[in-house]
Every structure is written in structure tokens, then in C-alpha cells.
Structure 1
Amino acid sequence: MHRSLLAFLLLPASALAPLSMAFAGQVPRAATSADIPISAKDRVYAADQFSNTVSVIDPANNRLLGVIRLGDPQPASLSPLYRGQLLVHGLGFAPDGKTLAVVSIGSNSVTFIDTATNAVKATTYVGRSPHEAFFTPDGRELWVTIRGEDYIAVLDTKTFAETKRIRVPAGPGMQIFSPDGAYGYVCSSFTAETVAIRLADHQIVGRIKQDSAFCPNIAASPDGKQVWLTLKDIGRVMILNARPPFNVLHTIDTGPLTNHVNFARTATDTFAYVTIGGLNVVKVFRTDSFAQIATIPVGKLPHGLWPSGDGRRIYVGLENADVIAAIDTSSNRVVAQIPVGQAPQAVVYVPNAVTTGPGIAGLTPLGLAAQAVHLTLDPVRSSSGSLSTSVSLFDQGLTQILQAAVAGLEPRKPYVLALAHLPDGSGAIEPLASFMTNPAGSAVVNAIGAIGQIGGDASGDRPRILVIVPGTTTEYGPPVQVQSRAS
């Protein structure tokens, strides 16, 4: 046998993987780009909203390396002299993988982090309630959706300064770019319209009517042909033509609290992965026929997701479980669960984020960010297919943040999340939050206070349980959902 052929056959499987797994480019790169095999140089980042941290994961062993602390828990963050970041939520990364952009909703900021050292390079303060940010394919600009207003803030990635504002429909939710850098796509969270913007001159060249006015997330396929966006309030995905005339190609009813969408190109095809928070699943769809091919149970309130550089895995943030779930795209099964900070929102996978050294400088343990209690509220009158509500109590030290992913209620009706003292949830209640369900009968409800003693007060002799009752804080009916005893 020829010596070179023998040497090739004796190579370990890991060395052959880059050749055998070379499917095509993954988002946000073009389909013609080479895949990047998973390695210890890569990083998975999660924006932890209530611990004000960024969790950093090594995907080679699916291990949490630590967190980057950008802010403090309450009540320190309520001080008029507070200087940290608040409500860490959105993530974007530069094409060269060397810079991570972190959006904090509560402090109206974008923090630029060096991925090799985990050090903050700069912080830029922008308009009211920014939501997401992403780099243009040439790496020269960072576009930030200013969801509390009506524009995109364009930041120079060398000076980190805002250089321009692009007016768009009120409440821009997220933006993403075509892989070739020709267009940017901006959906809205307050206005039922998505716009296509030409990058060459920042002009709007297309307008597409959304089926509802609440789009939190948008993604462009690596082949440059499609744009998928999610509509959280009505539980739907819209698929758009990524090129003129930017028309609607298809719509799919996906389920309550439809959150984020992203793509993975595998050995067989390109697939869209959609997180459905009210069902605690990820649904998988073909991008040619739009047929659903899988439903993956992942855990409580899946939110952001991103593929590895070779499409072999999808990483999903579980907002009400404080976990990142890793999905194997060949089997569409969860293969790892990694603990992270409180309420992970956006998730990104950055290939070759660390080119030298271990890349753990500046990271700290989870600490208080690991402290949370996870509960479930079940329907009082359950039937086949009944949905439950997941609840998390995120410990802030002196106080707790409660978040409930409500599902299974009547659409567009008023309800109250409350504490009750009787085991069946009947009788007088202590209201925590009033809310109105969306058209899918779901909602995300928050409350803040010293409410950590659910199941018993400080003396231990007066149990309290969570309930949801129809109506208002002054006029309400019997509970429709009650905290599970198994909680």
C-alpha cells in the first residue's frame, strides 16, 4: 500500500471529521463558506437577563467556563448612582469572531467584549430600550434596534460611536443581514411591518406586512433566499423572500410564545429551528417544503438559539430553567444541558473566538446567579393537551424576580397571578401581577419582591401557593391554574 494512503487511513476519526462533515456554511455566513468543526477555540455565549451576566461555554466539552459580570442584582441596581448594566438581553458577534456585542435593555447600552480575554473594550449608550444588535457582514457597522423608539442606531465598530440613525417603523425588534451584505432586514415589535434596507445607502427598499405587531426575532438563511421571522403574540412564523419583491412565501402556526428562529445546514438539507416557549419545545422545519419534521422537548421556556460552526449542534437557552440545551441535529435530540445564569435570552455560537490561550481570563463563577427555584402551575380542570405554566423565582439576595411563562388560558382575557393560602388555591389572594393574555392565550408575567417563601412564610406555619385567577385584583373568579404539589 502506498505510504501516504496508509497514513491517511490511520488518521483518527477526529482528524477526518472536518472532511466528512463539510456540509456548507452556517449562519450568519453564506452557504458557500466552509464549515468550522467544533473545537475548544469556539464559545457559546448566553445573555442572562436577571443576573446581568454573560455565560461563557466551551462547546468542545459542553462545560460552563464562567460568567462575565456586567451588572449587579437588586437592590444595588436600583441606586441612582448605579453604573453597571441592567437587563442583559441581546447578543451579536463580529465576522472575525473577536468581538461580542451585548445589549442591555434596562441601561440602554451596548457593551463590546474582547472574546479572547473576556474584557470590556467599550460601552456605548444608545436610545430607549435597545433590543438586539448585529454586525454587518463586512464588520464595519453594528446595527442596534432601538425598540423603545423608531430607529436603528448605526455604530462604527472601530470607534464604537453612533454615526447614523435609520428611521424604521416604531418598535424595531431585531435586524439581521443577507449573507452577501446586500440587505438588512428589520422586523417590528410594535408595528405590523418588516422592512428591507439596502446596505449600500441605508435606504428602505421593501416593506412587508406582518401578521401581528410583535416580532422579537428574525433570521436569514445561508443560501440568501429566505428570511424567517417569529410572531410571539399569535404563535406564528412568517417566511419571506430575501430578494425583491420581498414577498411572503409561507406562514406556519407554531404555538404559544414562539420566540426565536435559526438555521442549521446538515448533510441532508437546511432546516429551520424554532423555539416555542409555551410548549417547551423546539420545532424543526424543512426550508424547501416548509414541512415540520421534528418536535424536540427541551425544557422550560426555550428562547434564543444558534448553530455550531458546522451545523452539527443547535444551542438553545431555556429561560425558565437557567440552562443551555445542546441539540444534536442528526438525531434532533438534546445531548447536553449546561447550567448558566438567570433567564438566558439571546444565544450565539462564535467559532474560533479564542485563538490563543485558555480564554478564561476575567470569568467568575455563577455565585448568586445559580440561585433560582422553578415551579409549575397546572390547570385546575386538565384534559388531554392542557398546557401548564412554568414559573421561576430568580434570587437577587434580598428580593426575588418572579417570571411566569403563562400558557393554556383564554385569549385576550384579564387574569391575576397571585398567592393563595388554601391548598386548593381558593379563598382570598395576595395579587402579584395583573395581565392580559395574547391571542394565543399566553403571556410572560413578571413580579418583584420578597416572595421567596412560596410554600410557607418565614415562620413556616402559613403556606402560600401560586395561583392564576380570572378577572382583576378586586373582582376575580376561582383559580384556573394552581401550583403543582410536586413543585
Structure 2
Amino acid sequence: MKTALTLLALAMLSGSALAGQAPGAAFAPDVPVSGRDRFYTSDQFSNTVSVVDPAANVLLGVIRLGDPTPMNLSPLYRGQLLVHGMGFSPDHRTLLAVSIGSNSVSFIDTATNTVRHTAYVGRAPHEAFFTPDGREVWVSVRGEDYIAVLDAATAKETRRITVPNGPGMTIFSPDGAYGYVCSSFSPETVVIDTKTHSIVGRVKQESPFCPDIAATPDGKQVWFTLKDVGRTQVFSATPPFAPLKTIETGPITNHVNIVSTKAGQFAYVTIGGLNQVKVFRTDDFTQVATIPTGALPHGLWPSGDGSRVYVGLENADKAAVIDTASNTVIAEVPIGQGPQGVAYVPNAVPEGDGMQNLQALGAAGKTSALTLAGTDGKPATQVTLFDQGVLQTLQAAVTGLPSKMPFVLALAADPKGAAGLEPLAAFMTNPAGAAIVNAIGPIRQITRTDAGASRRYLVVVSGKPGELGGVVQMQTVD
């Protein structure tokens, strides 16, 4: 009770509160949507943080943390690379942006959009979040086997907590007693006592690939997603941390977050392979809504009053705005390339216009899309080409294939893939028959309808490079 009262007092003093929404406590007051709030996305291919005014649903600009490809390939490159994860402080004054490729955590002032500190940690960090008391930042170092604990004031690493290999994300109980760490490489989530920094609980994951985890504001449950098998698991947030439910959600199950409204407490889950957000009650786990979105929904976060949910659309370079009363998309906002983690920060800008140090979206706003259909003619794979100048970064959200089988994304000289196959990327489907596939090159120029005799077509072929089988998916032709 003492901890709860302390948190409530801090919320009232800050003016922005913890909002009764994740990651805060249910007893904290709601914060109505206003022009002081900000919605942020970490844009992996443009290496930017997009800054959105949720009152007007407009992009204010981007915080440029790094350069696009190929400028970021220089051995003398100093910017950030693969901007991916996101978190924020309890007082809503500091935003965290995690960059996988440069092993960094950027501490960004929300009022001025300036980078105050940059901390460099171990290989391939994925997500970072402040402890509820605001004193520490826990970084899941997914390329290794530990949580890097940083002093929030200095951004210096103070300790490491050894966890199962490949920690995907850490989130905390609203009272700050526990940190919950799921894994992207090991089939186990662990619970850590925040005072002793020791593991006090273990929960079996039904697969080794968890990218995201959320704790409910009522302090009773923890939800996490399993991207490779298309499931979402729920366990008790308190000892003995017992499993409560496993839900079949769909291929490329990305992120989960919790929303509190007058109608109850709900879990919103992004399903990339279906381009949907699914909504579940947290009391009986029934599904109450399916919300169509744009291409490849990824991160999502509720507003401070739970009236909206903002979703980053990874392959559409947009944020979708969901009204939680009707569970419909009411707006879309253009943002940077390949949004991954997101954060909605109430009262992020208490004074001024919050426009300092923002840049225009520029070339990062240019993308084009292609569709691949299966042999039955039905659309199965959505491909986005993110403009990087002469080159494009290709990302394909592949679905509809047999599970755990090798395939190749290739260019073909004819629409049916019968001749001139040139492999772009080999991949293995996950247990749900899906995969995220990347390549880079001047692909838009040669797949356009006006490319003439040099035109090529994207196809998916069974097998491996050098051992290609039959074409299983083909680019739909205009």
C-alpha cells in the first residue's frame, strides 16, 4: 500500500499522472488527449523517431538519429542504426530509443526533442524501459544473455542481470516489485525482483520467440506474444506466476498492450500476417473485436485516457489511430520508415510548442508496395519498398506457406517465374508458415510496369539458392 500511495502522489505532483493505462497503475487518474501529448514511433529503416501530435493526428516531424542506407555503411559512421525499441520515464520527460545495429540507447528530452545521453550496451539490444520509481533503465540485450541496468540519471551501466539467452523485452509490475523478461531465443520468461535483481520466477514459453510483453494496470496479469507460432500467452503477475491462458492469435503476432476503459480492461494484439488488431477481455479472455489495419501492424500504445490506441504500421509507414469505444480506425498519420516500437506519452510537452530540433520527413516518406499471390491467385504476401535514394530496402511479410520449410525470394524474367530466376534472399518459414524477409537494391526500378524489356517480377520459390524448386507465389501484375 505504501508503494501504491507513493506512486499516486508522484502522479499527482507531475500533473501527467500514470494515466490508469499501461505501464502505470489502474488507480491513477486518466489524462485526456491533448496537444501536450506525443505519440512516438521508432523507424527502423529511416533511423528516425517520428513525433505525432495526437490531438490533431498530424506528424510534427522526426528526430533524426541516423542516416539511411547506404550512408550508414561507412566504417566512420557515427549515427544510430536500426532504430527499433522504445520506452519512457514515469515523469514523461524522457523518451528512450533503442538502436539494434549500433547497440545504443538514446535518452531524448520530450520537450525539446534533443538527445541528452547515448548509452552503448551489448550486442543487439531490443527494448528498454524505466523502472516505475524512475531510478533505473533496464535494457534487454537480445544478442546476449543479460539485462543491462543503467542509472537513469547518468545513463551509465551499473550492473548486469543474467537471464535466458536472447531477452526480448522487460516490463514492470505497476507497483515496481517485479520485472518481467520474455525471451526471443529461449522458451522461458523470467520474473526478477527489482530490489535484489534476482530471478524469483520462471514461466514456460510455448515457443522461443517472444518480442513483446505487457503487464496489466490492475497488477494481476502479464501478457506476452509469440511471433513464430502466432500465439499470445497470459500468466499471473504474482507468485507463483502460474500460466492462465494461451490464445491462438495469428501469423506474425507482434505486440500486445493493455487498455482500461469504462467497459473494462482489454488486451490489444497486433497480427502482422493478417493486418489486424485483435481485442480480448482480460477477465475471461474472450475476443471482442477484430480491427482491420494497414500493412503489418507492429507496436501499439494507448492514450492516457484509454480512448485511443495508436498502432505503428510497419509496411505502410503510417500510424493507425483506433477509437476504443467503437474499435475502428478513425485516422492514419504518415510517419517514418518501418515503425517498430512505439510510445504514447501524456503531457510530454508541458510548455511551448515542442517543435524544437524536429526535421521534415523528406525521402523517408516515399514507399511503394507490391503483392504476391499464391498458386490459387489469392493475395498472400505484402512487399514494401522503402526508398533510400537510388536503392530501396525491401521488406516482405510472407504468409500462407508450409511451416519450417526453406524458400527463396527471387526476381524472375517472366510473371510466372518460369525463367531467369535471380535469388534475393533465402528464408525459413516459422511454425505458422510465415516470415519477415529483407533485401536491398534498385528493386523498384526493375519491377515497375514501365521498365520495358528489363522488367523483373518478384516471386517466392521453394528450396534453397542453388537448389531451387517450383514457384509458390508470384507478383500480381497490373
Question: Cα deviation per residue 1:124-155 (whole Å; 9 max; x = unaligned)?
Answer: 10000000000000000000000000000001
CA contact (8 A) 1:23 1:266 kept: no
* Aligned twin of 1:450: 442
CA displacement at 1:398 relative to structure 2: 3.1
The answer to whether structure 1 residue 43 and structure 2 residue 38 are counterparts is: yes
CA displacement at 1:365 relative to structure 2: 0.6
* Aligned twin of 1:348: 343
What stretches of structure 1 move > 4 A for 4+ residues in a row? 456-459
How many Å separate the matches in 2 of 1:216 and 1:35?
Answer: 28
Q: Which ranges of structure 2 fall in alignment gaps of 5 or more residues?
A: 1-16
How many Å separate the matches in 2 of 1:414 and 1:50?
Answer: 26
The answer to whether structure 1 residue 392 and structure 2 residue 387 are counterparts is: no
CA contact (8 A) 1:100 1:115 kept: yes
The answer to whether structure 1 residue 109 and structure 2 residue 101 are counterparts is: no
Normalised by the length of structure 1, the TM-score is 0.93
How many Å separate the matches in 2 of 1:460 and 1:118?
Answer: 46
- What residue identity is the alignment partner of 2:255? H
- What residue identity is the alignment partner of 1:182? A
The answer to whether structure 1 residue 409 and structure 2 residue 401 are counterparts is: yes
CA contact (8 A) 1:387 1:407 kept: no
CA displacement at 1:461 relative to structure 2: 2.5
The answer to whether structure 1 residue 431 and structure 2 residue 423 are counterparts is: yes
CA contact (8 A) 2:60 2:355 kept: yes
How many Å separate the matches in 2 of 1:387 and 1:228?
Answer: 31
Question: Cα deviation per residue 1:71-126 (whole Å; 9 max; x = unaligned)?
Answer: 00122101010000000000000001000010000000000100000011010100
CA contact (8 A) 1:24 1:265 kept: no
* Aligned twin of 2:220: 225
Question: Cα deviation per residue 1:276-300 (whole Å; 9 max; x = unaligned)?
Answer: 0000000000101100111100011
CA displacement at 1:452 relative to structure 2: 2.5
Give the greater-gyration-radius structure (CA): 1
What is the aligned length?
462
* Aligned twin of 2:275: 280
CA contact (8 A) 1:75 1:398 kept: no
* Aligned twin of 2:299: 304
* Aligned twin of 2:9: none
The answer to whether structure 1 residue 210 and structure 2 residue 202 are counterparts is: no
* Aligned twin of 1:473: 465
User: Which SS does the other structure have where 2:468 is aligned?
Assistant: coil
* Aligned twin of 2:8: none
* Aligned twin of 2:68: 73
CA displacement at 1:28 relative to structure 2: 0.9
CA contact (8 A) 1:128 1:148 kept: yes
CA displacement at 1:414 relative to structure 2: 0.7
* Aligned twin of 2:89: 94
Percent same amino acid among aligned pairs? Answer: 65
- From 372, 396, 405, the equivalent of 1:377 is 372
* Aligned twin of 2:413: 421
Normalised by the length of structure 2, the TM-score is 0.95
CA contact (8 A) 2:373 2:474 kept: yes
How many Å separate the matches in 2 of 1:183 and 1:428?
Answer: 56
The answer to whether structure 1 residue 188 and structure 2 residue 183 are counterparts is: yes
How many Å separate the matches in 2 of 1:422 and 1:480?
Answer: 14
Q: Which ranges of structure 1 fall in alignment gaps of 5 or more residues?
A: 1-21
CA displacement at 1:460 relative to structure 2: 3.2
CA contact (8 A) 1:454 1:466 kept: no
Following superposition of structure 1 onto structure 2, how do residues 312-331 of structure 1 map, counting pairs within 5 Å? 312-331=307-326
- What residue identity is the alignment partner of 2:413? H
User: Which SS does the other structure have where 2:273 is aligned?
Assistant: coil
* Aligned twin of 2:235: 240
How many Å separate the matches in 2 of 1:289 and 1:174?
Answer: 26
* Aligned twin of 1:172: 167
User: Which SS does the other structure have where 1:452 is aligned?
Assistant: helix
How many Å separate the matches in 2 of 1:348 and 1:23?
Answer: 13
Question: Cα deviation per residue 1:158-211 (whole Å; 9 max; x = unaligned)?
Answer: 111011100100000000000000100000000000000011111100011100
